[in-house]
Amino acid sequence: MKKTLIALAVLAAAGAASAQSSVTLFGVVDATLAIGQGDGGDKTHLTNSGYNSSRLGFRGTEDLGGGMSASFWLEAGLNNDDGQGAATSATNQPVPAFNAVTGANAPVRSGTQGLTFNRRSTVSLAGGWGELRLGRDYTPQFWNLTVFDPFGTNGVGTTATLNNTNASNDPVTVRASNSIGYFLPGNLGGFYGQAQYYMGENVNGPATEDDGSGMAARLGYASGPFNVAIAIAKTNFASGDFNTWNIGGQWDFGVAKLMGHYNSIKFDGATPALAVDGKGWLIGGLIPVGAGEIRLSYSTFKADFVTATLNHPEVQKYAIGYVHNLSKRTALYATFAHLSNDGGVAQALNGAVGAANASSTGYDFGIRHSF
């Protein structure tokens, strides 16, 4: 009888512990047949993440009592077409060029990229006051670009305000390492927001001590069919600072969702010749059709600078796609996109080779399974 009581007590304690904490394995495997056509050459290849980003993750939450909780989130990007993991950025700065003499900054050989938690690696403490989150995470300025893009910044239909080659790109446009973030609580009558500070973690003293460091914030309001948000960010570099601001919104009409965003990124170069002022916008929508959804968008991005080969470069893209849900976790999809270049740009879609001021087309056909 005594042994039975002890066994029951152990089971009760284990049940209480499991009720207070949980760990979840999750992921997405998305394979894409991508076709790119450009004036300089075409390309057909099997890739990934044409609809949702492929990933493998672990997350868990512990109930601390009194409305408090602690949690972790480890999420790794996967290149499931060849089995490699996705690379990460440790200091929010571009990796210097390979030095063949000293061997410094040696590139990773194809097929040797290990699994890194490049998508997110955070630990959090949350309560009625909000959430404090530490680690590698999405930046506030990226949320408006992906949330208010019908293609979710994935695949050939990705907004041109993010995928552009005609302006300098902030290394933390999407994610920042070494970040300290705060999120507002979810009981503010529809208002939401976050603030983030991230560090390049350089040695103090040199002019580059602040490279890769910066701060950003986002504030939004969502109520019923309406959702709008604005974000600002600044990332520091000795060669010049990146200043970004964007705004996005969505209205759900029931029969369709209309969405759009505007994005401005300015690089204050150390000299006028290095300065870049880029602006772009998107308008698009999602139209439910039976077990699927039609996706539409038009986006453009233009930079205000002049070089020997570029004169106020501009790209314009329109895209249309369809997603058919076979179940809640499995979907088939197809996307078509057309890109036009101007001002000397030679951007091309899906790995094709472009030519200055020429156009390019791209196709995605794929299957996505989540778990």
- The Cα 193–Cα 222 span in angstroms is 11
pLDDT confidence of residue 16: 44
Nearest C-alpha neighbor of 23 from the set 76, 73, 87: 73
pLDDT bin (cut points 50, 70, 90) of residue 109 is low
- Judged against a pLDDT cut of 60, whether residue 166 lies above it is answered with no
Cα dist from 174 to 144, 166, 299, 322, whole Å: 11, 18, 18, 25
pLDDT tops 60 at residue 167: no
Nearest to 170 by CA among 95, 89, 263, 234: 234
pLDDT tier, 270 (very low <50, low <70, confident <90, very high otherwise): low
Distance CA 259, CA 254 (A): 13
- Read off the pLDDT of each residue in 128-137 and give the average, rounded to a whole number: 98
Q: Is the pLDDT of residue 263 over 50?
A: yes
Mean pLDDT, residues 291-295 = 97
User: Dihedral sign, CA of 183, 184, 186, 191?
Assistant: negative
Average of per-residue pLDDT across 242-246? 95
Is a pLDDT exceeding 90 seen at residue 181? yes
Average model confidence (pLDDT) across the chain = 90
pLDDT of residue 358: 96
pTM of the entire predicted model: 0.89
Confidence of residue 97 (pLDDT cuts 50, 70, 90): confident
Domain 35-90+112-370 belongs to what topology? Porin (2.40.160)
pLDDT tops 50 at residue 1:
no
Mind listing the pLDDT tens digit for each residue in 221-233?
A: 999 999 999 999 9
Domain borders along the chain are 35-90+112-370
Is the pLDDT score of 4 beyond 60? no
Average pLDDT over residues 354-369: 97
> How confident is residue 144, by pLDDT bands cut at 50, 70 and 90?
very high
Q: What is the DSSP string of 249-287?
A: EEEE-SS-EEEEEEEEEEEEESSGGG-EEEEEEEEEEEE
